[in-house]
Each structure stands twice: as structure tokens, then as C-alpha cells.
Chains A and B, each alone.
Chain A
Amino acid sequence: MYAQLVKTDGKGVKPLDEMTPEERVFQQRIDDDQKIEPKDWMPDGYRKNLIRQISQHAHSELVGQLPESNWITRAPTLERKAILLAKVQDEAGHGLYLYCAAETLGISRDQMFDQLHSGKSKYSSIFNYPTLTWADMGAVGWLVDGAAIMNQVPLQRTSYGPYARAMVRICKEESFHQRQGFHIMMKMANGTAAQKRMAQDALNRFWYPSLMMFGPSDKDSVHSAQSMAWKIKINTNDELRQKFVDQTVPQAEYLGLTVPDKDLRWNDETGSYVFTEPDWDEFYAVLAGNGPCNKERLQARVDAWNDGDWFREGLLANAAKRRAKQGEAA
């Protein structure tokens, strides 16, 4: 979801007998569900892969503030404004936990920002879609946070301790976000004709991009096999997507909204919904930078960083002065 298409450097999972003794002990610990901590030995591939995954997740929280902050100043009531502010603040907080978790693997926040700003490191494709009406604040909470939770709940059991612990805190707050999103949708779906139209329009636009959040099918991917062996990925993308559809379709029905998939149907045998896959060409186009808001989102982050240069420099200069004064006093 927040980390789509994270590639490993390896060519697949090494069989135990090809592993070095260190690697074997490491894999054994993971198989025994022990947590790996920052000072423990770990294979380079594990470290690199985790850095990619956690930083991509952190960037998603950071960039994910933008589509929602787009509506803070236009929130329709003081209470809705307060809730949205709290939510965007939580997202910045999630970014902070995750950057800190990634830092324990030996990369700095500044380096991760450089990678984001240069386009080397990605963030979730969903945030390259625009938020056009107030109902989008509902759809983002309901669908986007709903898909995020689907992915993050299992990650609370991920093998890397700092990541797993960050996920526990994040999941608690995400559940609140999803509920408030659904509440906005309920108000809109039961509101005036204009509000109901906004709600349906938001579902139409966010449905397939939400399904894309889980990433393309990875059942045959060597990268995913390795990530799963390391328990930094717990379920396949298809499993999570199916679970999301099965959970969300009845909610849409409850709201009286129509999922924009004319082939959607319940399959009695599998006990789950059959649904139309999203347009993966569109997904790759968005990932390549051609989504509706890629340019604006990244530019907003680059501008924030560049415009804040003097601020960060000023604080550093002051800290240096204080240290110098303390040195004189000592």
C-alpha cells in the first residue's frame, strides 16, 4: 500500500544450505518470530530492503498530508476542521516515527529527503490523485486509510523491531482516521442530492486508485518471496486486495453508493467478491510521474524544503553559538 513495488537486490530466497552461518542464524531467529533490533547483525539485503520500504512508507505519510491539507481551510464546520487538522497532524507524526525507524538502519532523514526530492525514492501512487470535493475527505479516510490499515495491521508483526513498534502506534490512529472518513461519507450519502452526488463521485474516482495501493500481483515475484521470508512483508498483494474488496463492498452498500465495477459479484464458492482489476497501465504511468498531481505534490515538498533552508540553518547557527558559549563557560 504505502510501499508498493519494493524491489530486493537478491535473486530470490537462498536455500538454507547456501547461507553463511550468520545468515542461517539470522533466518532461524526470524522463523522463530524473534524481533531483529538495530544493533543485531543483519544481511545487507535485509537492511537495504527495509530502508527502501520504510522510507517509502514515511514519504507516503509526508506527501499524504497534501491532498488532505488541501481542504483544511475549506472544511465545512469547525468540528470537521478540527478533526481534519488532527488527522493531518497525525500523518506528520507517523512520518516522524517512520523516519526515526529507518534512521536506526543507518540512513539519515536528510538523505531520505534527498532521495524523495530527486525522485529516486517513491511514495504511494494514491497521493498523486487530486482531492476535488469535500466528499474526497471522506473517501480518503474510508478507502485510502482503510487500504492502509489492511496492509499495516499485519506489519505490526514484521520482523524488524522499530518498524513493528511504529506500526502499532500508527495502526491505532489509522483506525480513528478510517472511522471519521466513513462518518463523512455517511453524512454526505444521507445528505442533500448535491452531497450524495459528491459522495458517489468521490467513490468513482478513488475506487480503482485504492485497489492499486496494494501494488500489482506479486504471487510470482522473487522480490516478494524474499521479503516474505524475511517477514518484512506478511501477505501477498492479491490477498490484501481481496480482503479490502470483501470488507469495503458491503460498506458501500450500506452507504447506498455504487461501486464503479459493473462486473462486481459475490462468489458463493470462494466466499468472496469477484472484481475488476484496476488499470495497471495507469498505475505504471502514475508511478513514472504521469499521474494528475505528481508534479505538484513533489514540487510542494521540494519548495517546502528549499524555502525552509534558512530556518534550519538559523537554528543550527544558534545551536553552535550556544555550544561555543557553554565551552567558554566550562
Chain B
Amino acid sequence: MSSSNQTHSESGASPFEFLLQMGDNCLILAHRNSQWCGHGPALEEDIAIANISLDLIGQTQLWLGLAGEVEGAGRSADDLAYLRDAFDFRNLLLVERPNGDFGLTLMRQFLFDAWHLPMLKGLQQSTDQRVAEIAEKSVREVAYHLERSSDLIVRLGDGSEQSHQRMQSALDELWSYTGEMLDFDDLSPTLVSQGMVPQAQGIAEAFNQHVSETLQQATLTQPASEFVRRGGKTGIHSEHLGYVLAEMQFLQRAYPGATW
């Protein structure tokens, strides 16, 4: 398991923990999205959501692969995905929220994408070459994710009365989970000062601008509440994550040591 100098400390997240944040976000969101496969509201949506999950699993492999390398304890991306318990996961609370209806799933995706894209753009400039390379590989996929989710938010927000209501209630339900993304460098001031990760302020500005423009076009109202739910990045998750992991890790836990 991780040694003490690689866990959260007063100086903020270690590079290992930061890489887990990136990878775990992708993994848990991919898991949630993949639950829609074969159950989407239109065949085109089944295809799109499978495709996004696939992109996110690919990114998970890169981030967790590098995390294992940085940790130096011989753990592979699969070991990290399948053999950690919930309190060692570092994903945002947002991505472990249950799917709800397709509107809630889309809103969760949109809010995540609106953070994910500027974050990756910032990481393209990372002083750590390996991080910059993963960001470079992921940024085009995520630009498409954001384009799709923004487009659907606008169409459904400014659609029928019912679709408008559903999207507004999805936004209201998820809004308090967005703050955790934006205070990103609260956790890792050292990493920011080293240039490994970008300043949170720039990411927050890009997020706020894109979200407020899109919501305006969608005729949706941005919630006024500034209450922020936190915990995912320090390993204090909701009850939902345990069930996600129980399902995801079943085979690796039930048949230890088998190869697949």
C-alpha cells in the first residue's frame, strides 16, 4: 500500500494522489455512464454514451498507469482500479452520483466536462512531461464530450416544458457538487507551485464562463447557493461509491490472482 510520504499531508496532495484524482474521476464516471448501455432514450445516445465511457476508460488506463509508476510500489492501473477500497479513491463526489434519469446523467456529464476540458488544457502545459502527454492525448476526446453535452443541455433546457423542468431540477440537484472541482489547488499548492498542475483560478474562470453561457442559452437558472459539498478528493465519499466498487471489483476480489 501507499507509503506515508505519498498520502495527503499538510502540503497538499502528492503527485500520486493528484494522478489518482484524474484517473478515478474517469473510471467512476465511465462506470456510471456504462450502466446506460442498451438502455438509452435513442439508439444514437446508446452509441454516444458507450463511446464516451470508452474514452474515459482509455484515459483511466493512462492516469492510473502513471500513478502506479510514480508510486513505485509495483501497482498496475488494474491493481489500482480493482484492489483499492473506497477511502483510497480520490474521485469527485459529482461523478459517483447515481444516474437518475437521462437528464441528470447528462447534467453530471456537462458539469464534469466543463471542468475537465480546461483542466486538461492547463495540464498540457505541465512541467511533468508524462502528465502533459496524457493531457495531450485526452484533450481532443474531452473537447468532443463537452461539445455534445453542452449541445444537449441547450436543446433540452430550451425544449419542451417537461425537458426544461427536468434539466433545471438536475442542475439544482448537482450544483453543490461543482465547488469541489474548482478549489482544485486547495489540495495541492505544492504541485501548482512546481508547475505540475495549473492554477485553479484559470480553470474556475473557464468553467464559470462556459457554464453560465450554456445555461443562459438553455434558459436554465444557475442556482444561487454557494454551498459546496466536499470529500471525494480526500477519500471521504458518499455511500454510493462502495456499491460501485463492489460491482466493479467483484471478479478480482472473488478470484484473487487469476488473469483474465
**Which residues of A approach B to under 8 Å, CB–CB?**
62, 65-66, 69, 72-82, 85-86, 88-89, 92-93, 95-96, 99, 109, 134, 184, 187-188, 191-192, 194-195, 300, 303-305, 307-319, 321
Q: How far is the CA of A312 from the CA of B43 in the complex (A)?
A: 11
Among the listed A89, A315, A321, which residue makes an inter-chain contact with B54, where contact means beta carbons less than 8 Å apart?
Answer: A89
**Interface of chain B, main secondary structure:** helix
In the complex, the answer to whether B38 meets A69 with C-beta atoms within 8 Å is: yes
Q: How far is the CB of A98 from chain B (nearest CB, A)?
A: 10
Q: What chain B residues lie within 8 Å of A80 (beta carbons)?
A: 260
B158 close to A (CB within 8 Å): yes
In the complex, the answer to whether B156 meets A78 with C-beta atoms within 8 Å is: no
Contact with A along B43-73 (1 / 0, CB 8 A): 1111100110110011011001000000000
Q: How far is the CB of B149 from chain A (nearest CB, A)?
A: 14
In the complex, the answer to whether B51 meets A89 with C-beta atoms within 8 Å is: yes
**Which residues of B approach A to under 8 Å, CB–CB?**
27, 31, 34-35, 37-47, 50-51, 53-54, 57-58, 60-61, 64, 77-78, 81-82, 101-103, 154-156, 158-160, 162-164, 166, 247-248, 250-252, 255, 257-260
In the complex, the answer to whether B50 meets A311 with C-beta atoms within 8 Å is: no
Q: How far is the CB of A78 from chain B (nearest CB, A)?
A: 5
Q: How far is the CB of A7 from chain B (nearest CB, A)?
A: 26
Q: How far is the CA of A73 from the CA of B30 in the complex (A)?
A: 9
Given contacts A72-B37, A85-B53, A315-B156, 7 further A-B contacts (CB under 8 A): A69-B38, A74-B248, A75-B251, A81-B57, A307-B101, A313-B163, A319-B155
Q: Taking A195-B258, A311-B163, A317-B163 as contacts, is the C-beta distance between A78 and B57 under 8 angstroms?
A: yes
Q: What chain B residues lie within 8 Å of A92 (beta carbons)?
A: 38, 43, 46-47, 50
Nearest B residue to A66, CB-CB: B38
Q: Taking A74-B247, A82-B54, A308-B102 as contacts, is the C-beta distance between A317 and B160 under 8 angstroms?
A: yes
Question: What are the 8 closest A-B residue pairs judged by CB atoms, nearest first?
Answer: A308-B41, A314-B163, A314-B159, A65-B38, A89-B50, A69-B37, A317-B160, A76-B251
Nearest B residue to A134, CB-CB: B251
Q: How far is the CA of A321 from the CA of B156 in the complex (A)?
A: 12
In the complex, the answer to whether A99 meets B43 with C-beta atoms within 8 Å is: yes
In the complex, the answer to whether B163 meets A78 with C-beta atoms within 8 Å is: no
In the complex, the answer to whether B34 meets A77 with C-beta atoms within 8 Å is: no
Q: How far is the CB of B160 from chain A (nearest CB, A)?
A: 4
In the complex, the answer to whether A85 meets B47 with C-beta atoms within 8 Å is: no
Among the listed B37, B44, B252, which residue makes an inter-chain contact with A85, where contact means beta carbons less than 8 Å apart?
Answer: B37
In the complex, the answer to whether A313 meets B159 with C-beta atoms within 8 Å is: yes
In the complex, the answer to whether B247 meets A187 with C-beta atoms within 8 Å is: no
In the complex, the answer to whether A314 meets B160 with C-beta atoms within 8 Å is: yes
In the complex, the answer to whether B156 meets A318 with C-beta atoms within 8 Å is: yes
Among the listed A62, A82, A134, A303, which residue makes an inter-chain contact with B57, where contact means beta carbons less than 8 Å apart?
Answer: A82
Q: How far is the CB of B107 from chain A (nearest CB, A)?
A: 13
In the complex, the answer to whether B259 meets A191 with C-beta atoms within 8 Å is: yes
Q: How far is the CB of B52 from chain A (nearest CB, A)?
A: 10
Q: How far is the CB of B230 from chain A (nearest CB, A)?
A: 26
Most B Cβ at <10 Å: residue of A73, A99, A305:
A73
Q: Taking A96-B43, A191-B258 as contacts, is the C-beta distance between A318 and B159 under 8 angstroms?
A: yes
In the complex, the answer to whether A78 meets B34 with C-beta atoms within 8 Å is: no
Among the listed B27, B54, B103, B250, which residue makes an inter-chain contact with A86, where contact means beta carbons less than 8 Å apart?
Answer: B54
Nearest B residue to A89, CB-CB: B50
In the complex, the answer to whether A311 meets B255 with C-beta atoms within 8 Å is: no
Q: How far is the CB of B178 from chain A (nearest CB, A)?
A: 23
Q: How far is the CB of A282 from chain B (nearest CB, A)?
A: 25
In the complex, the answer to whether A313 meets B50 with C-beta atoms within 8 Å is: no
Q: How far is the CA of A312 from the CA of B27 in the complex (A)?
A: 28
Nearest A residue to B65, CB-CB: A78
In the complex, the answer to whether B31 meets A73 with C-beta atoms within 8 Å is: yes
Among the listed B60, B250, B258, which residue makes an inter-chain contact with A192, where contact means beta carbons less than 8 Å apart?
Answer: B258
Among the listed B47, B78, B82, B102, which residue makes an inter-chain contact with A96, where contact means beta carbons less than 8 Å apart?
Answer: B47
Q: How far is the CA of A308 from the CA of B40 in the complex (A)?
A: 7
Nearest B residue to A314, CB-CB: B163
Q: What chain B residues lie within 8 Å of A300 (beta carbons)?
A: 38-39
